[in-house]
Structure 1
Amino acid sequence: MNEDEFEKQVGNNDDFIEDIILSAGRNLSFEKRLKCLHQSDRIDQLYGCLRCTGFEERIGWLSNLQSYELFNEERRGFVSALNLYSIGEVGDRFEVSLIYPPYFYVETKLGREKDVYAYLSKRYHNRCLSFDLIAKEDLGN
């Protein structure tokens, strides 16, 4: 497929790359983010990479991965996901999206970890899926 045919089916590639960069910063409107997702799916289909949505077992070799967001119809919102691109046993290409909950780390003063953990788990028990106490090393110092 040449570049003109690609632009006819997908649109201007420069605009698409710009949209992806903005989408990562979440500066896009709801409609624009949804349009980017549909455009990304069309590009994957043009390159022969089909999205697996069922629960069928497939064997393949992981060839690439990238962060992604999916639209959740039930909640009418976006969820974080990881797209796993694979090459199947017969040379076919497919992708699987793995949804994961957002997370963040909180740094505490030494010796106060358990106090902060207890406070956060008590204060936000109904808003968070889980709390974990994890030791990390700050490589910046």
Structure 2
Amino acid sequence: MKDILVALNSAAKNHRTQLFSITKATGLTISEWKLLTQVIAGNTTQEVLSETTKLDISTLSRQLKRLVEKQMIEKTAVGKDKRQLIYKVTDKGVKASEYVQTEIDQLTERVFNHWTDEEKNLLKILINRLEKSLGRI
């Protein structure tokens, strides 16, 4: 049996590979998809997006630019000097996000379909506990 942290890291890598395949089908990277979900959630300015995603402004600007180029979001300049940008998801962005979420839900179902509710709840508890323990170090 693998060491706990080794097994957890292996599972995370496997999950990331699956998530990469899912997002790639929509033409998005995982990072772009996560940012797209933030815009859909109503975080529509760079300032708010930077706070919620913990991304620096230059990284955030590049990712937003790519989402605009891929027509997943659109930007509108507002204010007296038109320097502030408001981002809004497009229909294409909504469809891409819905597709990714549906695929993730199906993946989760395939992974845990033989697990009891008790086992799933225990795993949640233990992972949350592990995360807190690692955060204290």
Q: Which structure dedicates a bigger proportion of its chain to strand?
A: 1
Scaled by the length of structure 1, the TM-score of the pair is: 0.24
Q: Which structure dedicates a bigger proportion of its chain to helix?
A: 2
Scaled by the length of structure 2, the TM-score of the pair is: 0.25
> Greater Rg, structure 1 or structure 2?
1
